[in-house]
Amino acid sequence: MKGKIAVEEHFALPDMEVAKANGFRPEYLANVLKRLPDRVQRLEVMDEVGIEVSLLSLTEPGTQGIIDKKKSIEQAQRINDWLAEYFVKWNPKRFQGLGVVPMQDPAAAARELERMVKDLGLKGTMINGFSNIGEGDEIMYLDEKPCWEFWAAAEQLNVPISLHPRVPLPSQRRSMKDYDVIRGSLWGFGRETCEHAIRLMLSGVFDQYPKAICVLGHLAEGLIFALPRMDARMRYQEPGTHGAHKRMPTEYFRDNFIISTSGITHTPAMHNALIEIGADKLIFAVDYPFESSHEICAWFDAFPINEDDRLKIGRLNAAKYWHIAL
């Protein structure tokens, strides 16, 4: 399929220190680090695989790991200015951007979201999981009350909030002892993101801001298949023991979440996702440069689906949610 829009494609600034996950082969890691700040080879690959537009986002942990509020605000502004200038203005027909926000200061994050959308022309933001607000376990999730001001801004601006995985806190890794390799994308990423998304569903934030949209990658990290059991078990729970929400998790998932195919080439999982949420809530992504654009695109282009739905998933849904002119 030509004309695809890919919505979870990562970058890094040339002077940025990028987290190096455990266990990766040196040649793979070197290739990723080389491609993160590159735009020329990235564009060549897009041409080869039929991607018309890449929606770029900062690789993890983004600005979420910066404890100092002032520094997080300054870094977010610097990164967003660079993204808009280096990628988007350089080739706006092929590159669009998701900026970063300093969630250590939710009010500042709301202001920066407005600035990046209205002044820089970026399409929204990707947040790399929880935000560090102190040493150790002092963190903040997006469902916590100080962050609701930020959700209000996102709803008003009508931009989705992409939630990217992050390595779990050291205090949450006891089950991974002696198996450090599973802290990241092998397992820990998905576990941390699923729990973050569940917190959002149970918090009541989507009752307060019903038009807010959260984006989950990697077919929602498998969460889509666990939610029906959550609904079923909640029937036996005492009221008030599982948050301030007014509806069941699956209802929020269908109304307030969209999911991307980033990193996925598993046909049965894709079919199940289509059955659960339909083609209108699925969006194509590669997860470049951590995944192979050639492999992901070859799978998606051959995936057995009617062509109207392929067009929705591969192009039209992204254009609608992120206001990308076709």
State how far the Cα of 194 lies from the Cα of 227, in Å rounded to an integer.
10
What counts of helices (H) and strands (E) characterise the chain?
13, 10
Beta strands 139-140 and 131-132, pairing class: antiparallel
Q: Which residues contact 319 (CB under 8 A, 6 or more apart)?
A: 5, 325, 326
Distance set, CA 229 to CA 64, 232, 233 (Å): 31, 5, 6
| DSSP label of 257 | E
- Inter-residue contact 257 to 216 (CB < 8 Å): yes
State how far the Cα of 60 lies from the Cα of 166, in Å rounded to an integer.
7
- Ramachandran region of residue 33, left (φ > 0), alpha (ψ -120 to 50) or beta? alpha
Tell me, yes or no, if 47 is annotated catalytic. Answer: no
State how far the Cα of 205 lies from the Cα of 112, in Å rounded to an integer.
20
Q: Which residue in the list 68, 81, 280, 287 is annotated as catalytic?
A: 287
Q: What b/e string do you get for 125-151 counting C-beta neighbours within 10 Å, with b at 16 or more?
A: bbbbbbbbbeeeeebbebbbeebbebb
Nearest to 215 by CA among 151, 154, 162, 167: 162
State how far the Cα of 14 lies from the Cα of 21, in Å rounded to an integer.
19
Residue 34 buriedness (CB in 10 A; 0-12 / 13-18 / 19+): exposed
Name 131's bridge partners: 140
Please identify every residue annotated as catalytic: 287
